[in-house]
Structure 1
Amino acid sequence: MPLISTTPMLEQAKREKYGIVAFNVHSLDSIYWVLEAAAEMKSPVILQTTVGTVKSLGAENIVKVATAAADFYQVPTGLHLDHCTDYEVIKKAIRAGYTSVMIDASKHPFAENVQQTKQVMDLAASLGVNVEAELGKVGGVEEEVVVSEKDAQKAVPEECEEFVALTGVPTLAPAIGTAHGIYKGEPNIDFDRIEEISKLVDIPLVLHGGSAVPEEDVRKCVALGMSKVNVSTELKNAYSVAIREHFAAQPNSLDPRAYLQTAKEAAKEMVISKIKIVGSEGRISPLTIK
């Protein structure tokens, strides 16, 4: 089964009012356990990598492993490059076989964000590659992208409408009060803003900073039109904590198969729980595997 564009996946999710989770993978083995969990849940899924992960593992290697895993588990799988500010890196990812890319020009003025997004659209649209853009500024840290609390800004609904009309972008990540990483307090999600944006733009919206958001809040975001839910920190933490606990209990353990299996099972539980929250369990269909 080849990797597929996330555009039809997310359009179907929007129509049927469920979500698809985009899981950040940081190693080649994590690709397999994310898809193993998705296969058990019969759920379409998006594998997502940061620019740092691409630099570490290589775009071609990621594509080859993701393609092999999607074929092995027979799971409709998209492969997304997240929060990229460099057009050349986006080009390399698309050439390697990524089926979705994010151009993050949200730190620039509106007109510059439009221009950079249109440049990526000109490259990606004819190839069937999904493009995601951001309006407003999601706070927190996503590897190279750092936005302080004072600089975080929520998206303006009318600007979202204008932005989509000018760029033709098929997915949009509006800043609505979430943050990257684990929250210091309770997330302050602006549900009214999501609803207003959804009424103005008829495309799937993306929830950034999905880690540690309460389940009921995630479900409400999905119901309001946020069809893609990004999860990174919680998944990474579950994997790492399991390894630490393994060595705390067995300090002389030397077999990687033992501690990596422990970490895999912990991470799989996290993947399964997130799939259940967004409602994509059992959603594999002829459309999602095209």
Structure 2
Amino acid sequence: MLLTMKELLETAQKNKFAVGAFNVADSTFLRAVVEEAERAKAPAIIAIHPTELEFVTDEFISYAKHRAYVSNVPLVIHLDHGGNMNEIVRAIKCGFTSVMIDGSTLPYEENVSITKKVVEIAHAAGVSVEGELGTIGQTGNSVEGGVSEITYTDPEQAKDFVTRTGVDTLAVAIGTAHGIYPKDVKPELQLDILKKIREATDIPLVLHGGSANPDSEIAESVRLGVSKINISSDMKFAYFKKAREILSTTELWDPNVIYPECITEAQKVINHKMKLFSSIGKAELYR
């Protein structure tokens, strides 16, 4: 079943679990996410970054929508880190049921202004909107980018931002980064900030850069009120590690022979994350 983000996360927030937003770079990753969600009876978010949409083309969304429509678990098709109005409008026309406008690196008032405009346009089309306040770090190995120095989300500013923009969900910055952390870097989430943001706002909160963070901290962030967690690098790393292994030890060249094992490896990561988010079996809540 294809839902909007607002519909999906209202139930998650009410029942205190989080839904994974898994970045889908092609049809094999779409299969990995949807098939594992169906096997685990868990809701899931099919996230597509603008650079990924450029690669798969607009026509791919028709396939993704059909796959979601016929599924027996709740799914959302979400534009991840939309950077401008053109990318937002393109996604809405393609059939995304949720869009993110990332104005986090803009001055505060500019972020409020562009986010409010996106909300007006998207809501008129029945599409949910995610905004972002504060900045996500970067490890240098993700297409999603990020900044060198994180700006943590201010709880009082978050309250003002939500009120003035009308966003359905809010991505917050509490110390995560896009990509896989280097071996000498140990990420530590500022859960005290998250707790204050949760107390100041009442809409579902989003955690970007959810890969490679300690399981205990991710689980605790769910307990403290995060309803959506973005996963990309962990899943892709497992997929392509297997692909490299197969290609370096065989002379295979048929995709239908190479990719099934890669999909399985990605699904192991997806299932592990779903367990952390407490979303397994929660599809029944949407019936």
Q: TM-score range by the shorter chain?
A: over 0.9
Measured after TM superposition, the shift of residue 39 of structure 1 is 0.2
- Are 2:234 and 1:234 aligned? yes
Q: In structure 1, what is the Cα distance between the partners aligned to 2:202 and 2:97?
A: 21
| Mean CA deviation greater in 67-76 or 128-137 | 67-76
Q: 1:65 aligns with which of 56, 63, 67?
A: 63
What is the match of residue 196 of structure 2? 196
Q: In the alignment, is the contact (CA less than 8 A) between 1:48 and 1:80 conserved in 2?
A: yes
SS at match of 1:173: strand
What is the match of residue 89 of structure 2? 91
**Aligned pair count?**
283
Deviations 1:210-250 (A, max 9, x none): 00111111110011111000000011111100011112332
What is the match of residue 13 of structure 2? 14
What is the match of residue 79 of structure 1? 77
Deviations 1:134-185 (A, max 9, x none): 111111155263411x3x2101111001101111111001111111111231
Measured after TM superposition, the shift of residue 253 of structure 1 is 2.0
What is the match of residue 214 of structure 2? 214
Measured after TM superposition, the shift of residue 72 of structure 1 is 4.2
Q: In structure 1, what is the Cα distance between the partners aligned to 2:285 and 2:62?
A: 23
Q: Unaligned stretches of 5+ in structure 2?
A: none
| Mean CA deviation greater in 268-277 or 37-46 | 268-277
Measured after TM superposition, the shift of residue 7 of structure 1 is 0.6
Q: Mapping of 1:156-167 within 5 angstroms?
A: 156-167=154-165
SS at match of 2:188: coil
SS at match of 1:46: strand
Q: In the alignment, is the contact (CA less than 8 A) between 2:11 and 2:285 conserved in 1?
A: no
Measured after TM superposition, the shift of residue 286 of structure 1 is 5.7
Q: In the alignment, is the contact (CA less than 8 A) between 1:32 and 1:69 conserved in 2?
A: no
Write the letter of the residue equivalent to 1:209: G
Change beyond 3 A, Cα 1:96–1:255:
closer
Q: In structure 2, what is the Cα distance between the partners aligned to 1:271 and 1:286?
A: 20
Q: In structure 2, what is the Cα distance between the partners aligned to 1:18 and 1:286?
A: 11
| Mean CA deviation greater in 27-36 or 186-195 | 27-36
Q: In structure 2, what is the Cα distance between the partners aligned to 1:100 and 1:73?
A: 18
Q: Unaligned stretches of 5+ in structure 1?
A: none
Q: Mapping of 1:1-290 within 5 angstroms?
A: 1=1, 3-59=2-58, 61-140=59-138, 142-143=142-143, 145-148=145-148, 150=149, 152-184=150-182, 185-250=185-250, 252-285=251-284, 287=286
- TM-score, normalised on structure 2? 0.95
Q: In structure 2, what is the Cα distance between the partners aligned to 1:137 and 1:146?
A: 7
Write the letter of the residue equivalent to 1:96: C
Moved over 6 A (4+): none
Deviations 1:115-140 (A, max 9, x none): 00000000011332111111111111
Q: In structure 1, what is the Cα distance between the partners aligned to 2:5 and 2:107?
A: 27
Write the letter of the residue equivalent to 2:151: Q
SS at match of 1:270: helix
Q: In the alignment, is the contact (CA less than 8 A) between 1:242 and 1:262 conserved in 2?
A: yes
Deviations 1:175-198 (A, max 9, x none): 111111112312120101000000
Please tell me the root mean square deviation across aligned C-alpha atoms, in Å: 1.4
**What percent identity do the matched residue pairs reach?**
38
Deviations 1:267-290 (A, max 9, x none): 111111111110111111363x6x
Change beyond 3 A, Cα 1:146–1:198:
closer
